[in-house]
Structure 1
């Protein structure tokens, strides 16, 4: 019997190894097959395109080998490299999705100024220059214009129409392309696009995002010549417990050592030549929303979009990096350019999830369905570029103004505007009995202690990550059970409640200190007895009573009246703090409960507020950090945008 069991175990182990090897082999074969397809159907060419100031940008062109017809150009400008380099090297995919790759386009990739194989000096979110007076006045708009001008004049078999696209930072460059656009640019699709570094990515309403700490060197390490391999080095925290690491590190100034070039393996630099990472230094020098950040933001410059450029802004409702950017990009273009073709697509995705070649759609623990991204790629994205780059390109594209996914009902909706027209505003008050009510009770308050040594974690996960994407749908029960998190909840809903638009938290607060962060989270509390299970990815979690975070945001209290000119709180004085939470499209279904959580720490997603006023958080001292007691008054309320029946 023992011998039989031993043989069975050996057989099972061999079967496991064979299956793993087979899977690896099949994945490798799939990638090789994709590369072979591109080699067989496209000609690759690498060129250096001279900008108006003489700086040359490395550009890679993939043209269809079938030259019997002309093709539109799809251009992606990126700071993340247009590898693989070398005209004999090919990628496994071209274009924004695998369907477009086979539909007849010329695909162009470009390293932006100062990155990778391109010449020039890189500037993190280079400021737009509205009135250029000479060829030395360059920005990303002029670089895109010069690139498109060269492409339509020098790439064979192009039909004279160009489209731009990109996700995240490349999305920012796609937005930029529509300003002072080249006449050949007909379509731009900014996706998860950066809008302003003071409100997304590195900051949220003035609070510095520690989750981006390790990304700083990626954008702040200069290079002195074109390179085809990474020249920067991200900090090694030497631990998987980022909560403990940042708690032990103390003030942000203690992190300066990670951004000196002596921490980067570059023997050509002498010690006396070492300088700090230029972007980290920029963060230190500009802690407030001053003219530097105001110029770098792209949202305020979306006033003169060429009417000939159709825009399709794409985002994910659970994007941990860039939620502000795409929503504000769409809304600002719509407001300032009402006659332009401008459409919005938002689905149940994290950062860039719509572009992945994956059937299953889930964010963290929460499953939304199958083939949602494929639907977007085939029925929305491909149709957009097809219409504006190959067909007549008129306003009648057949696509709605807004294609949005209800993350509660788990289904798509289409509207002629966003937010939809049939909406109203509802106020829900924060009552002392932890009840969320439409009725305001007699003025009172709830207090809690915000212990600077025991900040509220943003997630239960113990790991070091570049950006914590899954936290956007994390179960919030762990936070609800802490004494320094206030919880306000409705009774079980008797009817569906569809949130469709932005959310505003109108808080009345007080603190024993002179500063504080205020975090508001909107939560869909699932029934204890579930008749359906969206998904369960972690063994210790069950969808029974799952506290799904629908939206959340922070306001650094000192910026409550002005992001440019911070001001302290007066201790123990009732003070108004307003927080705009970004849009949602989510139905809290009948049988669920709507919950609001309010807290003052969210660690280490954001840095610790000292809870005493300091002019520059990057120069705060250990002695500035104090435990304080905060109050939230019952005159506080959350204003929801609600879709009417």
Structure 2
């Protein structure tokens, strides 16, 4: 009997170690496994950039270097202060890599002057510098001065560090072998602060982060976020009135606020800060990562992958999951965006099986491109499953056109006449029914749109219940034919998945909602009407004249399942996600007066179309 007890005890110990029984595990201590040094690396013009280097204590091996360049601080500062985690994920951290963080020029402990989205300089001479040269000079120093390195370097980053990751591909150092731009900014006139010329008012508070310059290295914030008198952002911005009234919060010392106001159009200032157009003849391996519900940087990742694919002959793959901004770097078990749940361990699985595989292959392995990873790995946000393709958009898609027809129908037959609505800047359509003050918006990307569909200033066009699954893969292009009684207007298009009545709630469903008849926003976009023909040359509408306005929505991969409906919503305000259009043409909306804001009637003609890419 005693031996049986020992056998059972042994079996339980084995099971607890191997099959998920609760067990005590010691948290990973970076300080126990890594040494840390802080250095100032001198750039070609003499400016020193603060750089923190974490090296594995096991010096019997050689390691590649994984680097991130950031404007958000390489904290904590001090040789005895360590990050709780280093590297892109815990798997790469625990297996051992030399991990480097650098404050970019003009930020935190680095010297120099910061330039928001610093322009790239081709064919640099002498001491000319940009972020590409700063990256090159840093890598050159690291491979020559850091011990126990195998001479290979990888770079990763999310959001702004994703932009610096993309930048490293230009004039790249020979030691740079693998780069993963993630949620990477591609162009500030289409990412983050602008969408097709409309100013993202919801990012206004972030202006403090980028607009205040410093004169010397600092280890503590030199900027301060604005304290606002309300917790209701809709009411705060409505009460604030025209954008010029926000000047009292940001004075001339906020360089970025001044730049936004002085450059309302896509002029040379913004054009030269774009990085997409420079992605040619790229040599390092690239893995672009993005979230299909990233409210901040969705344009950048798609454009980065597509431009490299067209203009280079390197290893170049793309991963898009059902994530909001940076979700893939987190470890939350249940992956959801707002009310919509997509599955368990999606981020952890990406980190372990995709991200780690990519970097290990090119930095520790054969580096021959045979990673076993698909060219395109993208999540079907309707079926809630991963799919793989050899190209993007998939080779098997075909274009299908739907009309915004009579009787609120989304139809394959053109209609006659028009639908109209009155747009009042004093009563704009909210982008969310949540009452709160957000730093940057995220959840709205999958929010229930019933509240909007029930407003008289939102037009709704939808199919009948689908009799079979319909998978849309790639871009959505709306070709509106409109007219307005005013001389300017914004046009917002939303693609919505209308759930059936028997849809069940999940633990993410907000208390005041039901998933029955849920109107899930799949994709949305705005076009500031003045830019309908040219982003650099705004022009007014001619009142009451039928006019074409085309709106490209960012790519999707979503199955509208049998029993669901495909819905399109059209509106002209989306507040305070974007600022209010006066609906009277003025040269610069940042300087519009209260009297410029007028109520207008807008028409959408029934020969307007939405073009989908349908997966066969």
TM-score with structure 1 setting the length: 0.91
CA distance in structure 2 between the aligned counterparts of 1:386 and 1:194, rounded to whole angstroms = 25
SS in 2 for 1:456: coil
Which residue of 1 is the match for residue 50 of structure 2?
58
2:270 to 288, 293, 307: 293
Which residue of 2 is the match for residue 587 of structure 1?
559
Contact 1:409–1:586 under 8 Å retained in 2: yes
1:637 to 609, 613, 616: 609
Which residue of 2 is the match for residue 316 of structure 1?
291
Query: 1:325-365 deviations in whole A, cap 9, x for unaligned?
Result: 1011111111111x211000000000000000211101111
SS in 2 for 1:350: coil
2:115 to 103, 119, 123: 123
SS in 2 for 1:85: coil
SS in 2 for 1:601: coil
Which residue of 2 is the match for residue 239 of structure 1?
230
CA distance in structure 2 between the aligned counterparts of 1:643 and 1:365, rounded to whole angstroms = 26
CA shift at 1:417, angstroms?
A: 0.8
Which residue of 2 is the match for residue 625 of structure 1?
597
- 2:463 paired with 1:490: yes
CA distance in structure 2 between the aligned counterparts of 1:535 and 1:424, rounded to whole angstroms = 37
SS in 1 for 2:27: helix
CA distance in structure 2 between the aligned counterparts of 1:103 and 1:248, rounded to whole angstroms = 54
Show the 5 A alignment for 1:290-369: 290-306=267-283, 309-337=284-312, 339-369=313-343
Which residue of 2 is the match for residue 111 of structure 1?
103
Query: 1:155-190 deviations in whole A, cap 9, x for unaligned?
Result: 000000000000000000000001110000000000
CA distance in structure 1 between the aligned counterparts of 2:229 and 2:62, rounded to whole angstroms = 53
Contact 1:536–1:542 under 8 Å retained in 2: no
Contact 2:336–2:508 under 8 Å retained in 1: no
Which residue of 2 is the match for residue 471 of structure 1?
444
CA distance in structure 2 between the aligned counterparts of 1:291 and 1:198, rounded to whole angstroms = 11
2:85 to 93, 97, 110: 93
SS in 2 for 1:484: coil
Aligned residue-pair number: 593
Contact 1:536–1:543 under 8 Å retained in 2: no
2:27 to 33, 37, 57: 33
CA distance in structure 2 between the aligned counterparts of 1:357 and 1:372, rounded to whole angstroms = 9
CA shift at 1:617, angstroms?
A: 1.1
CA distance in structure 2 between the aligned counterparts of 1:90 and 1:446, rounded to whole angstroms = 61
Which residue of 1 is the match for residue 365 of structure 2?
391
2:349 to 348, 371, 375: 375
SS in 1 for 2:31: helix
Which residue of 2 is the match for residue 572 of structure 1?
544
Which residue of 2 is the match for residue 432 of structure 1?
406
- 2:105 paired with 1:133: no
- 2:255 paired with 1:278: yes
CA distance in structure 2 between the aligned counterparts of 1:116 and 1:276, rounded to whole angstroms = 18
CA distance in structure 2 between the aligned counterparts of 1:237 and 1:599, rounded to whole angstroms = 29
1:67 to 48, 59, 65: 59
CA shift at 1:536, angstroms?
A: 4.1
CA distance in structure 1 between the aligned counterparts of 2:88 and 2:506, rounded to whole angstroms = 29
CA distance in structure 1 between the aligned counterparts of 2:366 and 2:587, rounded to whole angstroms = 55
Which residue of 1 is the match for residue 74 of structure 2?
82
TM-score with structure 2 setting the length: 0.95
* Runs of 4+ in structure 1 over 2 Å off: 532-537
Contact 1:318–1:350 under 8 Å retained in 2: yes
SS in 2 for 1:179: coil
CA distance in structure 1 between the aligned counterparts of 2:585 and 2:219, rounded to whole angstroms = 45
CA distance in structure 2 between the aligned counterparts of 1:238 and 1:356, rounded to whole angstroms = 32
CA distance in structure 2 between the aligned counterparts of 1:304 and 1:175, rounded to whole angstroms = 13
SS in 1 for 2:166: helix
Query: 1:386-437 deviations in whole A, cap 9, x for unaligned?
Result: 0010011112111110010001000001111111111001101001200000
Unaligned runs of 5+ in 2: 1-23
SS in 2 for 1:33: coil
SS in 1 for 2:249: helix
CA shift at 1:537, angstroms?
A: 2.8
CA distance in structure 2 between the aligned counterparts of 1:452 and 1:403, rounded to whole angstroms = 42
Contact 1:366–1:535 under 8 Å retained in 2: no
CA shift at 1:534, angstroms?
A: 5.1
Query: 1:521-560 deviations in whole A, cap 9, x for unaligned?
Result: 0000000122x44554311111100000000000000000
CA distance in structure 1 between the aligned counterparts of 2:275 and 2:221, rounded to whole angstroms = 27
Which residue of 1 is the match for residue 494 of structure 2?
521
Which residue of 1 is the match for residue 9 of structure 2?
none
Which residue of 1 is the match for residue 217 of structure 2?
226
